[in-house]
Structure 1
Amino acid sequence: MSTMLARRSLARAAAQPAALGAAPSGARNMATLREIELRLKSVRNIEKITKSMKMIASTKLAKAQRAMEAGKKYGVANKEVFAHVPSDKPTPNKLFVVISSDKGLCGGIHSSVSKATRRALAGAEDSPLAGLNANDSAVSPDSTVMVIGDKSKAQLTRTIAKNFALTFNQIGRDIPTFADAAAVADLITQSGVKYDSVVLIHNQFVSAISYEPAAVEVKGAEALQESSAFNAYENEDDATKDLAEFSLANAIFAALTEGHACEQSARRNAMDNASKNATDMISRLQMQYNRGRQAAITNELVDIITGASAL
């Protein structure tokens, strides 16, 4: 009798937790399963959001491409005018205008123009300025910079904040218009910054899945007046100044529309990749949840069978 009581006491001691307040053996598995279930729910919600954003970006991309084709006509006409005015005088005093946007969730499209601007100011051989004007001297690292868009502004503030003269936001929140470009060109000309030419650094639309940073140079009024080819025409100073400002607005409008199309394309691709990653994560978490649930059920069955065998 005493032997039987001793065995029962040992069995009870073995069944109790080792320390006061310790969780039972199955509690850890249940908590893990609960965490996985909550994470699955959150990832599924993220997948719904990214798929919706991809559809919206796809719709906006079609509109942005049509606006880009219309905007490119302004840029082509602008280039044809300056093609007949070759640059026979160097324009070392350049004003850099970086074109991005205020919105995120579109991959590294803002980083590309920021890196291109830093390379251009550093005089790198692979910068977008390479081949623009063979007569120009080296670009000064202290050149004045103006930024359109809060994203590139935040990135460039870390390194070249001292070069900033003006920053713009809320430009082209939907599809950029010529009024937006004209307002930017007007503020640039009225800023009091002295420059020989304006270099627009923006994203060039290559295809629906590809883009690359590019640079467009627009001469100022003084550079136009000192050009021998332009002096062949008898123009008044006011007409030359108006032409320079109008050509700057044309170039900015073409760059804004092309950058907007690149942004929508990059956002659609980013949301597509995010949706695929969410789908893969859901499958992995679902498999992990099923394995944990199966292990918990197996442990419970083992306990039941062991208890039944002991009885």
Structure 2
Amino acid sequence: MLARQTLGRIASQPAVLGAAPSGARNMATLREIELRLKSVRNIEKITKSMKMIASTKLTKAQRAMEAAKEYGSANSELFQHAPAQEAGKRKLFVVISSDKGLCGGIHSSVSKATRRVFADPASGIDAESPIMIVGDKSKAQLSRALPENLTLTFNQIGRDVPTFADAAGVADLIVKSGVEYDSVAIVYNQFVSAISYESNIVEVETENALKESPGFKAYEMEDDVTKDLAEFSLANAIYSALVEGYACEISARRNAMDNASKNASDMIGSLTMKYNRGRQAAITNELVDIITGASAL
């Protein structure tokens, strides 16, 4: 009898010194799943809150975008009635992005569009054409691909709906930077709908190009008039691109947070099922141990 009890104690001990009991693995696994469930639920709360905030901002951004489009259409009408001669190959690229993330591929869209233009031999632009960037996100991307072309960057613009004062400040710094260029190409995200956008490039003529335009040569104007008109046209185009890019960013952030919330909900369901199965298995093992012990007695 004593030998049988001793043999039972030896069999119940772990095979390796310091090893966990047989039920400890299930307990640890359940604890890990429980902690992960709690973490995913917290993430779901955050993404849902960010989606609600973005949905509220989107309406305001769309109203501002509709008003700002009038500035861009005024520029298009001006250049349409007074077309300039063929511009040179040295273009100034102004890339419009922002400082914030968590909005899908909104920033990489304009960065890819810029890289495609420089990589395309048919574009005919100078390989040393300068690039100026609004926003830290595209700055980080283009600084790796085209570091030699970066000349000026702007940040802290677009934290709220951009204003014409923001665009005028950017245009003023561009004019005063002393960078030489034949024309300006603004790369931004064009708003298509609440769920889609696409990168677009709009051309803005410089002061010299306007002076050489046949439409402007027909009139006698002072030099200051053409200079002021060129600066105002640049500010108009930047303002329109900033506001439209902001609307695209808010829309993309809302869609990204909606997708993240759905993924978190699916993960919560999967983890809950796994936790319940593990818990049932642990209870079954305990019942088997109790029944086995009772049968032995």
Number of the residue aligned with 1:15: 12
1:60 and 2:46 matched: no
Once the two structures are superposed, the pairs formed by residues 197-276 of structure 1 within 5 Å of their partners are 197-276=183-262
Separation (CA, whole Å) in 2 of partners of 1:122 and 1:37: 50
1:92–1:196 Cα contact (<8 Å) kept: yes
Separation (CA, whole Å) in 1 of partners of 2:93 and 2:143: 14
Number of the residue aligned with 1:290: 276
In structure 2, stretches of 5+ residues that fail to align are: none
How far does residue 265 in structure 1 lie from its aligned partner after superposition?
0.2
Aligned length: 297
Number of the residue aligned with 2:114: 117
Number of the residue aligned with 1:142: 128
Once the two structures are superposed, the pairs formed by residues 173-192 of structure 1 within 5 Å of their partners are 173-192=159-178
Aligned AA for 2:67?
A: A
Separation (CA, whole Å) in 1 of partners of 2:234 and 2:219: 20
Aligned AA for 1:262?
A: C
Q: Deviations over 1:233-292 (max 9, x none)?
A: 211111101000000000000000000000000000000000000000000000000000
Number of the residue aligned with 1:51: 48
Q: Deviations over 1:7-34 (max 9, x none)?
A: 2222221111112211100011001100
Number of the residue aligned with 1:71: 68
1:30 and 2:16 matched: no
Percent identity at matched positions?
A: 75
Separation (CA, whole Å) in 2 of partners of 1:8 and 1:217: 91
Q: Secondary structure at the match of 2:131?
A: strand
Aligned AA for 1:181?
A: A
How far does residue 78 in structure 1 lie from its aligned partner after superposition?
1.0
How far does residue 203 in structure 1 lie from its aligned partner after superposition?
0.1
How far does residue 87 in structure 1 lie from its aligned partner after superposition?
3.2
Q: Secondary structure at the match of 1:41?
A: helix
Q: Secondary structure at the match of 1:217?
A: strand
Separation (CA, whole Å) in 1 of partners of 2:148 and 2:66: 36
In structure 1, stretches of 5+ residues that fail to align are: 126-136
The runs of 4+ residues in structure 1 deviating greater than 4 Å are none
Aligned AA for 2:277?
A: R
2:87–2:183 Cα contact (<8 Å) kept: no
Number of the residue aligned with 2:94: 97
Q: Deviations over 1:206-235 (max 9, x none)?
A: 000000000000000011111222211211
Separation (CA, whole Å) in 2 of partners of 1:13 and 1:280: 46
Task: Provide the aligned C-alpha RMSD in A.
Answer: 1.1
How far does residue 117 in structure 1 lie from its aligned partner after superposition?
0.5
Q: Secondary structure at the match of 1:229?
A: helix
Number of the residue aligned with 1:156: 142
Separation (CA, whole Å) in 1 of partners of 2:166 and 2:128: 28
Q: Secondary structure at the match of 2:214?
A: coil
Q: Secondary structure at the match of 1:175?
A: coil
Aligned AA for 1:226?
A: E
Separation (CA, whole Å) in 2 of partners of 1:22 and 1:186: 71
Aligned AA for 2:214?
A: S
Separation (CA, whole Å) in 1 of partners of 2:120 and 2:165: 33
2:90–2:128 Cα contact (<8 Å) kept: no
Q: Deviations over 1:121-168 (max 9, x none)?
A: 11266xxxxxxxxxxx70122110000000000011111111111000
Aligned AA for 2:211?
A: Q
1:211–1:262 Cα contact (<8 Å) kept: yes
1:101–1:150 Cα contact (<8 Å) kept: yes
